[in-house]
A and B are shown apart, each in its own frame.
Chain A
Amino acid sequence: KNQVEQSPQSLIILEGKNCTLQCNYTVSPFSNLRWYKQDTGRGPVSLTIMTFSENTKSNGRYTATLDADTKQSSLHITASQLSDSASYICVVSGGPGNNRKLIWGLGTSLAVNP
């Protein structure tokens, strides 16, 4: 069964600190992996998109990594800010050729405290 699992479920850090969020998936065959940021009361917004051949991709203070062999991805946030408080969702595109789907994780809820 195609699945996307994220950890931790929730995380609290102090402003200025770094953190890393994890995403493990079993989707096969794999097409691409996305990280979304969802602020409270708003829709998800894409942060990064990665394909099989990409190991690292950065978007400002956000850096995503992908290990397609172990089917793991991480999202590293550097020098966190209060505005980073949100839910971060990992999404994998993949599946059999004529039935490719988006498989969404449940997200990691991040709280950045002053």
Chain B
Amino acid sequence: DARVTQTPRDKVTEMGQEVTMRCQPILGHNTVFWYRQTMMQGLELLAYFRNRAPLDDSGMPKDRFSAEMPDATLATLKIQPSEPRDSAVYFCASGLITGTGVALPMNTEAFFGQGTRLTVV
């Protein structure tokens, strides 16, 4: 049963601490997205990778957020130092997408993980 796996499911941390979220994309997918979801903003794209190369991280606060893909089976999103305003649900999604750009062409789909609920107190 192919699925995107995210860990941890829930994380509560104190302000100033480092937080690392992990994502295992579906085997064979070449594109990985990181999204943040809040009630006020909905789903916001933070960064995405194609064939492990970062293509767009303009949605990410550069001073504290970093995203990496050390190998094809692991993507990480790190926040250091964390702040209360970072509290949100962070989703990873993967897909098999040709071409460039972050928009999904008609014949492709992005599959989402169950998310990591982050609370920074």
User: Does B109 reach chain A (CB closer than 8 Å)?
Assistant: yes
The residue on B at minimum CB distance from A49 is B106
Q: Identify which of residues 87-121 in chain B touch chain A, using a CB-to-CB cut-off of 8 Å.
A: 91, 93, 100-106, 109-110, 112-115
- Using a CB–CB cutoff of 8 Å, the interface residues on chain B facing chain A are 4, 41-45, 91, 93, 100-106, 109-110, 112-115
On whether the beta carbons of B4 and A43 are closer than 8 Å, the reply is yes
Looking at the assembled complex, report how far the CB atom of A54 sits from the nearest CB atom of chain B, in whole angstroms. Answer: 10
Which one of A58-66, A70-78, A101-109 contacts B?
A: A101-109
The residue on B at minimum CB distance from A43 is B112
Bound Cα distance A104, B35 (Å) = 11
On whether the beta carbons of A41 and B112 are closer than 8 Å, the reply is no
- Using a CB–CB cutoff of 8 Å, the interface residues on chain A facing chain B are 31-32, 34, 41-46, 49, 51, 89, 93-95, 98-102, 104-107
Bound Cα distance A111, B43 (Å) = 20
From known contacts A43-B91, A46-B109, A106-B42, infer whether A32 and B104 are also in contact, taking CB-CB under 8 Å. Answer: yes
Contact partners of B91 in chain A: CB under 8 A = 43-44
The residue on A at minimum CB distance from B108 is A49
| 12 more A-B residue pairs beyond the given contacts A41-B114, A46-B110, with a C-beta to C-beta distance below 8 A | A31-B106, A41-B115, A42-B112, A43-B4, A43-B113, A45-B112, A49-B109, A99-B101, A100-B103, A101-B45, A101-B103, A102-B102
* Residue among A45, A99, A104 making CB contact with B43, cutoff 8 Å: A104
On whether the beta carbons of B43 and A89 are closer than 8 Å, the reply is yes
Bound Cα distance A97, B4 (Å) = 29
From known contacts A102-B45, A102-B103, infer whether A43 and B114 are also in contact, taking CB-CB under 8 Å. Answer: yes
